[in-house]
Amino acid sequence: MSATDVMVYIVDDDAEVREALAWLLRSRRLPSQGFDSARAFEQALDAAPPESPACILLDVRMPGTSGLALFDRLLERGIASAWPVIFLTGHASVATAVEAVKRGAFDFCEKPFSDNALVDRIERALAVSRQRVAQLGAQRALRARLDELTEREREVLQRVASGRPNKLIADELGISVRTVEVHRARVFEKMDVKSAAELAQLLQQL
């Protein structure tokens, strides 16, 4: 995997931990950015929401907003689905980290951690992020195409995708079959599909 299009975010109040992790990642040609608090990371997120693959190394216990509280916010914003979260935890917080994994965190790593094991987890998380970011990008593009449809074209789209024939669609909408054919052709053109089955498959992505 090329590291040029990925990022590892380190959220930990311990400067030594952040520096050690940044050094480890540099040695594996993985770029990183460090944040000393949940607040600092959220401010950065507000300025640059997820658009490229990344993962988050998140300390469970931090002053102020804890790692768990930040994780809850990331879940609410949908960020944790695009950027997998790996919790960094001490022995006393392992049970808490396991519970977070059940709620959607990618994994956890107990301190002191094995460099190789941690990097392996990070690389797996980045591979997952690459897939998820691509899916989210495809969904955004699809929604943009849907937004270009007129209200009538949306009505025809829904019925075509469900497999209704033109005659039935015309009867349901109170328009002529010819008009349905015109709308159908425009829908296919705007959605860049060639069949009702392809249109239905496309809508399933949402």
pLDDT digit string, tens, across residues 36-56: 999 999 998 886 666 789 999
pLDDT at 151 over 90: yes
Query: What is this structure's pTM?
Result: 0.73
Q: Tokens for 10?
A: 């380190």
Kindly state the average pLDDT of the residues 90-111: 81
Topology (CATH level 3) of domain 148-204:
Arc Repressor Mutant, subunit A (1.10.10)
CATH of the domain spanning 7-137, picked from 3.40.50.2300, 3.40.50.10800, 3.40.50.1470, 3.40.1190.20: 3.40.50.2300
Which letter, b or e, does each residue of 115-127 get, where b requires 16 or more Cβ atoms within 10 Å of its Cβ?
Answer: eeebbebbbebbe
Whole-angstrom Cα distance, residue 65 to residue 131?
30
Residue of 74 and 101 predicted with greater confidence: 74
Whole-angstrom Cα distance, residue 108 to residue 100?
9
* DSSP per position, 84-129: -EEEEE-GGGHHHHHHHHHTT--EEEESSPPHHHHHHHHHHHHHHH
Residue of 126 and 113 predicted with greater confidence: 126
